[in-house]
Amino acid sequence: MNRHIAVCSSLFAALLLSACLSTEGDGAAALSGAAGATQFGDGSNEARLSAATDAVRAVTVSDEELQAVTLQVVAEMDNTNQVAPDANKYAKRLNKLTRNLGNEDGLELNFKVYITDEINAFATADGSIRVYSGLMDLLNDNELRSVIGHEIGHVKLGHSLAKTRTAYLASAAAKVAVSEGGLGAEALAELGEKLINAQFSQAQESASDAYGVEFMRRHKYKLPAAESAMRKLAKLEGSSSGSKLFSSHPGAQERADEIHALITAKKK
């Protein structure tokens, strides 16, 4: 079995802690990253200048600019991935599961299925949530709901926007976008890759897991599904068919245990 398991990006990367460049903050992470680059770089003036420029941009790029970029990136990703048409069985299933979530928790959300064997799902800062058919094959309806709730958490808690800021600033695109007033398809695709592959921090994943459990509670969905979804992913994490992402970013088992504690805790 050779299918690619990329879990997480936004969401499930959850499983995969770390590599995430982005952390809680906004500009601060990118700023310290830039400083690090200067420290460990080749010491050339050019490298220093570039790092300094990134650092300045980190604190000046506005949320509005990031949201505008996000819309372009999502449009490009929808364009290049195989989006399930309305009549497709996956689209029908996701539509049924998300019908009541158009305005969830004050967010304007939209949902689409990407037809691919990859096991993944992600959310972007504008409220676009994309679920891969490979993940839908793995999970039952309530488990999928818990993943969706987790993704919504990343949007609601500002993680998606923070990650976009980091990815945007790290991309060559950002440096020309301002002066040229827009991004080309290639730059958007590159940024999309970064958004999908960059991981959230462990703290962000835990916070989104907790949000996901609250989401399940709020809608009166079956809480144990949140744990069983994570156990299924944990199983993949431990198998040889898991991608290198899994081996370098363990943690699904621990997260499943945390979720277990959350769902068995007494209601306040």
Active site residues: 151
Residue 245 binds Zn ion (CB under 5 A): no
Taking only Cα atoms into account, the Rg of the chain, rounded to an integer number of angstroms, comes to: 18
> In whole angstroms, what is the distance from residue 252 CA to residue 144 CA?
16
Q: Which is nearer to Zn ion, 7 or 170 (CB)?
A: 7
Chain center to CA of 253: 19
Pick 14 or 119: Cβ nearer Zn ion? 14
User: Minimum Å distance from CB 159 to Zn ion?
Assistant: 8
Q: Cβ closer to Zn ion: 101 or 229?
A: 229
Note whether 157 and 46 are within 8 A (CB): no
- Build a one-symbol-per-residue string for 208-237: x at contacts with Zn ion by CB under 5 A, - elsewhere: x-----------------------------
Q: For 169-186, give one letter per residue: b (16+ CB within 10 A) or e.
A: bbbebbeebeeeeebeee
Strands (DSSP E) along the chain, which ranges?
A: 110-114, 121-123, 128-132
Q: Which of residues 191-210 bind Zn ion (CB under 5 A)?
A: 205, 208
Q: Minimal distance in Å, beta carbon 208 to Zn ion?
A: 5
Burial 64-75 (b: 16+ CB within 10 A, else e): ebbeebbebbbe
- List the x/- string, 4-43, binding to Zn ion by CB under 5 A: -------x--x-----------------------------
Write down the least CB distance from residue 9 to Zn ion, Å.
8
Q: What are phi and psi of 66, to 5 degrees?
A: -65, -40
Taking the complex as a whole, how short is the minimal distance between the CB of residue 107 and Zn ion, in angstroms?
16
Binding residues vs Zn ion (CB under 5 A): 11, 14, 205, 208
